[in-house]
Chains A and B, each alone.
Chain A
Amino acid sequence: MAENSLTQHVASLEAGEHVIAAAFLSDEPALALANGAIRLGDRNVAAHPQGAILCAALDGDRLLTGGDDGRVVATSPDGATQMIGDEKGKWIDAIAAREGALAWSAGKIVRARDAKGIVKTWTAPTSARGLAFLPKGYRVAAAHYNGVSLWFPNADAAPQVMEWKGSHLDATVSPDGRFLVTSMQENALHGWRLGDGRNMRMTGYPGKTRSVSWSHDGHWLATSGAEACVVWPFKEKDGPMGKAPRECGVRPHRITQVAFHPRALVVAVGYADGLVLLCRLGDAAEILVRDSAPDEGAISALAWDKTGARLLFGTDAGRAGLLTLPA
């Protein structure tokens, strides 16, 4: 692996706290930290001065964060913060954003706020653990116990429920809107074809999948939770049904984070021992970004910039780095 290495192109960044999420605001690398701050370039933004950041989502050039202080805060590239929601100390469990709209959950309470600032509220049957916007229309998928509800915030109708027994954690929708996928408590993914509600099981993980990423063409879903990056094919009408997933980055360490490159079929893979690899899907070629450093924590955040020239990563022990691909 040594000859295929980009490690000399990585600049180390000061995080100092568990990195919850990574993002680029305009061109500035941003790290959302467990102490409630956002490390933006070399500044510290006190987004949640009284709490920890629990979840984050990027919308254009705004970073939206939810904290255990009950607040939903938007941070702009200039470091300005705006409080968008306040659940009076109830933890913000999940957050999702799309084109100026955002949604968050606190226990069973799910709120959606459109680009004009109008907030609608829906109560889930049990705690809503994961949220995702559908790519078309103004509709939110909320994962909970025994399924996912598809909620139109602007309609009075009860949400459509996609049922599947068990505890659903994170939710994601394919970029073309054809498939909805959740991670589950029992080390599996569950998928639905939204057109007809057909179920698909994606199993075989030794641990929970808590990070997923769609390829830029929407044909592949990369997933964490195994000792290889498991990549499911979603190009065909039936999605991954009856097909074996691709595997890349096989190592004897659990994968904790995945992030597809925004333009190429290359996935960045972060491991529990702190190593980061780039894997090319076609031939499974690998390039090392960061070497194993078990004392410096597990990779807990990974993000590409918009053009795919830079990769930002952070660990749960407060280390972070920025890869700039050589031109």
Chain B
Amino acid sequence: MSESDKTPVTVLTGYLGAGKTTLLNRILSEPHGKRYAVIVNEFGEIGIDNELVVGADEEVFEMNNGCICCTVRGDLIRIIEGLMKRKGKFDAIIVETTGLADPAPVAQTFFVDEDVRARARLDAVVTVADAKWLAARLRDAPEAKNQIAFADVIILNKVDLVTPAELAEVEARIRAINPYARLHKATKCDVAISEVLERRAFDLDRILDIEPEFLHVDDHDHHDHDHGHGHHHHGLKHFHDEEMQSVSARLDGDLDPNKFMPWINALTQEQGPKILRCKGIVSLKDDPKRFVFQGVHMMLDGEPQRDWKAGEKRESKVVFIGRDLDEDEIRRGFLACAA
């Protein structure tokens, strides 16, 4: 089955009260012509009639490798298997997680389970955050921080309840943890549904640009990307989160696959519990194709993608988001993989 035949799955996370249910109800009530199967934790929160609403138990199971970070959602495997018997009755799946959930087991389910992988693909992790309370939650709730770190799309909701200065601060705090997610400011989750669904953020062949979105601060898409190394902070107040950070590294030219593959495998094996997500596009020596990969904790998925174009600069870029990452060590290790 090709990637495009697989059912896309959007994971909706967000701390308690951030507005997740508001977003879900909007998705289900708007006339977009798509039919969604929705996997929810609490029946009754959804105000819309939908015959394909499935209750989940959020059963997080450890894998049998004895590692605490290697977890999957057992109930999700079962539900997706069952939903596939209704294939043709819906176009996409939305998984709502509880406010206190760690997104990792959900995402890892799509890496680990062969049957789920064969039929469904993770489209994006969408996190709804409360502009007024997020800063406080980032201090006292590790779950909230995980949800921000994991996100491909962040909806910063209830921006009408904060001052411009407060908004700038909460945004900078988000960026300190996750500079790569798409960030949308909203009141009552009023973002275009197309910005939330069908993002293909988890598709390896769509990791086209992993430059941080530092400069997209005002949501008006100024295309002034800094193609240097993504560590400038034009006018944006900069925070360093004590615990969670992102590390990106870039290298002109090729990597030696005999150095890079063992390095990335060893790094994710050894530091998997600390690494929440990683992504990369790399140029392997003598390989005409770009090699793209991404991972969640210890689980890595990578494949050769399209050919490098004539005249395209061959370069390699990697990004890690995690806890207590040793930035210098990661960058040194990566640069040592040069061909």
Supposing A90-B55, A167-B61, A167-B74 touch, asked if A208 and B82 sit within 8 A by C-beta, the answer is: no
Shortest CB distance A3–B (Å): 35
Supposing A108-B57, A166-B64, A207-B114 touch, asked if A185 and B85 sit within 8 A by C-beta, the answer is: no
Residues 278-326 of A contacting B (Cβ, < 8 Å): none
The total of Cβ contacts below 8 Å across the A-B interface reads: 54
Cβ proximity bits B218-231 to A, threshold 8 Å, 1 near / 0 not: 00000000000000
| Number of residues of chain B lying within 8 A (CB) of chain A | 21
Cβ proximity bits B77-115 to A, threshold 8 Å, 1 near / 0 not: 111001001110000000000000000000000000111
Question: Across the interface, which residues of A come within 8 angstroms of B326, CB to CB?
Answer: none
| Number of residues of chain A lying within 8 A (CB) of chain B | 23
**Contact yes or no, A18 B85, CB < 8 A:** yes
How far does the alpha carbon of A18 sit from the alpha carbon of B81 in the complex, in Å? 13
Q: Does A54 contact B (CB under 8 A)?
A: yes
Whose C-beta in chain A lies nearest to the C-beta of B82? A54
Q: Does B307 contact A (CB under 8 A)?
A: no
Q: Does A20 contact B (CB under 8 A)?
A: yes
Q: Does B75 contact A (CB under 8 A)?
A: yes
**Contact yes or no, B63 A127, CB < 8 A:** no
Supposing A20-B85, A185-B74, A186-B64 touch, asked if A91 and B54 sit within 8 A by C-beta, the answer is: yes
How far does the alpha carbon of A224 sit from the alpha carbon of B63 in the complex, in Å? 22
Partner of B57, one of A18, A53, A127: A127
Q: Does B195 contact A (CB under 8 A)?
A: no
Can you spell out 24 A-B residue pairs with CB atoms less than 8 angstroms apart? A18-B85, A18-B87, A20-B85, A34-B85, A52-B85, A53-B85, A54-B82, A90-B55, A91-B79, A91-B82, A93-B82, A126-B57, A126-B59, A127-B75, A127-B78, A129-B78, A145-B59, A165-B64, A166-B61, A167-B74, A185-B61, A185-B74, A185-B113, A186-B63
Given A93-B82, A108-B57, A186-B63, 5 other A-B contacts at CB below 8 A? Answer: A68-B82, A91-B82, A127-B75, A185-B74, A186-B64
Residues of B within 8 A of A (CB): 54-55, 57, 59, 61-64, 72, 74-75, 77-79, 82, 85-87, 113-115
Residues of A within 8 A of B (CB): 18, 20, 34, 52-54, 68, 90-91, 93, 107-108, 126-127, 129, 145, 165-167, 185-186, 207-208
